[in-house]
Structure 1
Amino acid sequence: MSKKYHLFEVYGIELEYMLVYSKSFKSAPIVDKLLTKKAGKLTSDVENGNIAWSNELVAHVVELKTNGPTNNLNGLSDLFHKDVLEINALLKPLEANLLPTAAHPLLNPLKDTELWKHSYSEVYELYNRIFDCHGHGWSNVQSTHINLPFFDDKEFEKLHAAIRIILPLIPGLCASSPILEGKNTGFKDARLEYYKTNQKKIPELTGLVIPERVFTKEDYYTTIFEPIKRAIRPHDIKNILDHHFLNSRGAIARFDRNAIEIRLVDIQECPKADIAICVLIIEVLKLLVDKKLATLQQQKKWLKQELFDILNPIIKDAENYTIFNVEYLNMFQIKETISVKNLWKHLYNLVKENIHESHHNTIEIILNEGTLATRILKAVGDDYSEKNIKVVYSKLAVCLQENKLFLS
């Protein structure tokens, strides 16, 4: 965002999808072929009207994103879906298709990972040298990113404070990665369980997932960026890696484009679900930013460790976890312990009138039927055979193609 925007004036949404071979269900490292078919030449970025496509770290993941900031969230689901249909049509002759959810349930990352080999590859190669990106936390993670603008330090302070408060609750709305390598991981959000530790070799990059209590650009540089730069220096002799790129917290400040990017959202079964979830999160953030739930001082005082202690069990149990920290719940006008599911229902009731009716049914299905992770586990039942998992996830691929919710 080179032009500066005010709070909630525009949005940037990014959706990541895995490519799989339709017959074998294995990951298909052919994003370069897909982008070449679309552009007529090998490229890492394609602008397709309102939506842009680009490559990711691994050769089997494509990212779809709003082509620049947009102020219209309500038409986005259809725009993304149109591109999903186009991509699946381009992939059909290659006997491949897009697969939704935040993790492929059968992928063996040590065997099935190919890094992107083209433009920007020196960055990925360096990352691979430092961290070895052949693991679930690297090659089997598809997420939805929400980019929200701020105009100056004053707006950054309000937005960063509000986002830190909401981060722990996000997996309780959108966890979608319960199965890895054919097994129930025990975590509704296995993607985030890996996210916490996949850069433990250089702990400064991810920190505690919840960002530190910093509310100005200067403080952010001192507290977060400078330690990152110091920590990476011995590994990055040629000075290839940018501090914005390296910062891996659950929400990252992008001062290069005056936005904060939220990264804790697992991608869902279809854009309709993704956008509805984004809208709900954004509307709750507006309540916090406008101090309608808690004062700015109340929001700012929370330490990263305190918020992480709420996030961590929600990564495991998602909407079924009961929050006991009443002081935290007071910020949402709740006076006693409550399940994450019921807290989200409460928050939805507070903002429902501000949400376009086209999202109501989708949000209500998620709040009543459970996160996608819960619905996937229900559909799989006790049968974790490769055959049955493929049946369930093939249905999820149909949901993506048809832009409809998955009901187990």
Structure 2
Amino acid sequence: MLGPEHEFSINDENFNPLPISDQIIRKIRGRIANEAVIGRVIIGKELQKHVIELKPVKPFEELSEFEEVMQEGVEELLSVMDGCKLLGLGMHPLLKLENAKVWDHRDRKIYEAYDRIFNIKQHGWLNIQSFQLNISYSSEREAVELHNKLRILIPYIAAIASASPICEGMPYYIDTRLNFYRINQKEIPLICNDVIPEKIASLREYRKILERIYEELRKRDAHVLCREWVNSRGVIVRFSRKCLEIKVMDEQECIKSDVALTAFIRAILRAEIEELPREKLIEKLDSAIRSGTAELKSELKELFRKAKENADDEEKKYLKIVKLRIKEGSLGESILMNMGDISRKEIIGVCEELSKCLERNEVYV
């Protein structure tokens, strides 16, 4: 089963981010709440009030259903937004931190605790959007196997999904989101662990890691954060959902591209994957953050070959998008290649194109 979570920024016609997620939820539900149901999707809040989340009411078995339902959700959300525009990417390219607003309704105690310990007034908190994918497991053995495979794949998934090349109107890393994400909780390094989790032999071992994180939080009187979701590595176990959650991907330009990433991940998980030392994984993740696919082409092509060999017919249809991203560069790389001078006018023009991609479910080229 597949459970996607998409995060999009809310914008005016000039792509100024609008902190109105609470107003949108109130319009749908009739009152301010953490989430509201519209059709077959759930509209939810995030830490930042200019970001809104979409996730399905029920997880999916088929990729075609995933695409159909989530695109329907995008369209229904747009229909209640009074002309505001949605934008994907891993970060808002124009957001100034001083203009970001934090969710100030229910659950604000969680954000207050985060702020007290880590200072959330930074890009790794207030300017961050991701495509998170939940993949179910049926047994402890399967959970451990999936976890250990995914930890090796993290740098490569990040490279293909990198889509945050501009920060505060200036070019930065191809995956600027991950650059800030991996240091946003540096006061307790164990929480993010340089994004790459340890290899585990059992779920008991994983729970011990969680308990070590909780111990550090309790020392700082942050009991409210002692939950399974506080683990911020690139893949985590969600016992409450009986799934693994992949957290390393930038949100893409449209639902179809997110489905393509899902197809690649699901197919490559059926293949044999070579173990790599943790230091090598961190080195390759650094490369993905810095330059997307550029320095990992040969390895990505080999992984794609294995994914295609293990893909079913439906997955193969979507893998064409991943093949293009590996060959011609990730979304972040393409954005920079397609821009002239990095000016506000140029950025707004690209945002307009990307917003239309999301609305029409078209891949950006």
Question: Is the aligned partner of 1:230 residue 2:221?
Answer: no
Name the counterpart of 1:203. 189
Correspondence for 1:331: none
Structure 1 residue 143, shift from structure 2 partner: 0.6
Q: Is the 8 Å Cα contact of residues 13 and 146 (structure 1) preserved in structure 2?
A: yes
Name the structure 1 match of 2:291: 317
1:263 matches 2:247: yes
Task: Verify: 1:178 aligned to 2:165, yes or no.
Answer: yes
Q: Relative to 1, partners in 2 of residues 1:340 and 1:173: Cα closer, same or farther, differing over 3 Å?
A: farther
Shift of 1:19: 0.8
Q: 1:168 aligns with which of 155, 169, 177?
A: 155
Q: In the TM superposition, what are the counterparts of 1:218-297 in structure 2 within 5 Å? A: 218-222=204-208, 224-237=209-222, 239-287=223-271, 293-294=272-273
Q: Is the alpha carbon distance of 1:258 and 1:353 closer, same or farther for their aligned partners in structure 2, counting shifts above 3 Å?
A: closer
- Deviation string 1:251-282 (CA, Å, 9 cap, x unpaired) is 01112222110001111100011111111111
Q: State the alpha-carbon separation in 2 of the partners of residues 246 and 45 from structure 1.
A: 20
Q: Which residue of 1 aligns with 2:45?
A: 55
- In structure 1, what is the Cα distance between the partners aligned to 2:319 and 2:238? 31
Query: What is the deviation of 1:69?
Result: 2.4
Q: Distance in 1 between matches of 2:49 and 2:184?
A: 19
Q: Provide the residue aligned with 1:4 in structure 2.
A: none
- Asked if 1:99 is matched to 2:58, the reply is no
Contact 1:228–1:243 (Cα < 8 Å) also in 2: no
Q: Which among 20, 26, 29 is matched to residue 39 of structure 1?
A: 29
Instruction: Give the whole-Å Cα distance in 1 for the aligned partners of 2:259 and 2:226.
Output: 29
Q: Compare CA radii of gyration and give the structure with the larger one.
A: 1
CA distance in 2, matches of 1:159, 1:344: 16
How far, CA to CA, are the matches of 1:342 and 1:279 in structure 2?
15
Distance in 2 between the 1:358 and 1:82 partners? 20
Confirm or deny: 8 A CA contact 2:40 2:73 kept in the other structure: no
State the Cα RMSD in Å: 1.8
Distance verdict in 2 for CA 1:225–1:352, change over 3 Å: closer
How far is 1:340 from its partner?
Answer: 4.4
What letter is aligned with 1:56?
E
Tell which deviates more after alignment, 313-322 or 171-180: 313-322
C-alpha deviations, 1:56-109, integer Å up to 9, x for none?
1111111111223221222212221112122222112xx522111111111112
Question: Counterparts in 2 of 1:255-404, with a 5 A limit?
Answer: 255-287=239-271, 293-294=272-273, 299=275, 302-322=276-296, 339-356=298-315, 358-381=317-340, 383-404=341-362
Query: Are 1:16 and 2:44 counterparts?
Result: no
Matched residues in 2 for 1:218 and 1:133: separation?
A: 31
Letter of the aligned partner of 1:108 in structure 2?
Answer: K
CA shift, 1:159, in A, is 1.1
5+ residue gaps, structure 1, are 1-9, 288-292, 323-337
- Aligned pair in 2 of structure 1 residues 221, 91: CA closer, same or farther (>3 Å)? same
Conserved 8 A contact 2:162-2:288: no
Contact residue 74 and residue 358 of structure 1 kept, 8 A: no
Residue 43 of structure 2 contacts residue 55 of structure 2 at CA under 8 Å; is this kept in 1?
Answer: yes
Matched position secondary structure for 1:406: coil
Contact 1:11 1:149 in 2 (8 A): yes
- Please, what TM-score do these two structures have when normalized by structure 2? 0.94
Residues 319, 339 of structure 1: 8 Å contact kept: no
User: What amino acid is aligned across from residue 167 of structure 2 in structure 1?
Assistant: L
Which residue of the partner structure matches residue 364 of structure 2?
406
- Kept in 1, the 8 Å contact 2:46–2:103? The answer is yes
C-alpha displacement at 1:364, in angstroms?
Answer: 3.8
| Deviation of the 1:366 alpha carbon | 2.6
Amino acid of the structure 2 residue aligned with 1:62: I
Report the equivalent of 1:142: 129
C-alpha distance after superposition, 1:11-37 (max 9, x if no partner): 1111111111223x2211100011111
Q: CA deviation at 1:112?
A: 1.5
Q: Does the C-alpha gap of structure 1 residues 364 and 207 become closer, same or farther in structure 2, counting only changes over 3 Å?
A: closer
TM-score (norm 1): 0.85
SS in 2 for 1:91: coil
Is the 8 Å Cα contact of residues 269 and 405 (structure 1) preserved in structure 2?
yes
Q: Displacement, 1:132?
A: 1.7
* Equivalent residue in structure 2 for 1:155, among 127, 130, 142: 142
Paired residue type of 2:233: R
2:279 match: secondary structure = helix
Change (3 A) 1:211 1:367: same
Q: Is the 8 A contact 1:213 1:303 kept in 2?
A: no
Q: Which ranges of structure 2 fall in alignment gaps of 5 or more residues?
A: none
Counterpart residue type for residue 89 of structure 2 = T
Aligned mates of 1:284, 1:69 — CA distance in 2: 20
Q: Is the Cα–Cα contact under 8 Å of residues 22 and 96 in structure 1 kept in the other structure?
A: yes
Segments ≥4 residues shifted beyond 4 Å: none
Q: Which amino acid in structure 1 is aligned with residue 230 of structure 2?
A: L
Counterparts of 1:161 and 1:26 in 2: how far apart (Å)?
A: 40
